[in-house]
Amino acid sequence: MLIIGLTGGIGSGKTLASDYLAEKGIDVVDADRVAREIVEPGEPALAAIAAHFGVEVLQADGSLNRAALRARVFADPAERSVLEAITHPAIRARILLHLQAATSPYVLLVSPLLFETGQADFCQRTVVIDADESAQKARASSRDGVSETQIASIIAAQMPRSERLRRSDDIVVNHGAPDDLYLQLDDLHQKYLELAAELNHG
């Protein structure tokens, strides 16, 4: 199975890109979605989070209070490390299950922390959706209603843009209109289909 890792900073257009490829019949494994799955009520990771951070990071119904947890971990790098030690192994294991279940010619692993978490190790090839920081901030604040301070913390916690670009095999520039993004993705989609065919016949 050809696994393509897709990444980019906050507000770069990862979801726009992966949705477009999903419409072409490509299976998408979204690390953010998996990260939500593994902290659902009844999951071992949620119990471990509550044990460390206390019940104040839980809602009244026992589900995770994301805002409370986010505020804690972005204010304290040591606490973020604890959270990552709980969640990252569970996320990796669940991602592998989803990747193994994929049936499309190639599968897309979408992850904002593809390189930082070692998830790139699952992939034969990686693509970065790249946007400049002003575009990232504008998209993230309009889409998620996240404060500028939080966006700056998230950008700071992610790999520097220059390093992400250096590590990636393919780069899609998303500074303009969606149609510009889609044209670049069309070219990559063809390339990945050819790579997948070579892999299957190899």
Domain layout of the chain by residue ranges = 1-26+104-195, 34-89
User: Tell me, what's the pLDDT at 35?
Assistant: 93
User: Tell me, what's the pLDDT at 87?
Assistant: 94
| DSSP code at position 5 | E
Q: Is 202 annotated as a binding residue?
A: no
DSSP-based three-state secondary structure for 108: strand
Alpha carbons 3 and 102: distance in angstroms, whole number: 10
Q: Is 11 annotated as a binding residue?
A: yes
**Global pTM value:** 0.85
| DSSP code at position 64 | B
Q: Is 12 annotated as a binding residue?
A: yes
All residue ranges of the chain with pLDDT < 70 are 143-145, 202
User: Tell me, what's the pLDDT at 160?
Assistant: 87
User: Tell me, what's the pLDDT at 145?
Assistant: 66
* Domain 1-26+104-195 indexed as CATH 3.30.9.30: no
142 burial (CB, 10 Å; 0-12 / 13-18 / 19+) is exposed
Q: Is 145 annotated as a binding residue?
A: no
User: Tell me, what's the pLDDT at 189?
Assistant: 98
Q: Which long-range contacts (CB under 8 A, 24 or more apart) does 159-162 make?
A: 159/113, 159/115, 159/116, 161/9, 161/130, 161/133
Nearest to 122 by CA among 31, 27, 5, 21: 5
Q: Is 7 annotated as a binding residue?
A: no
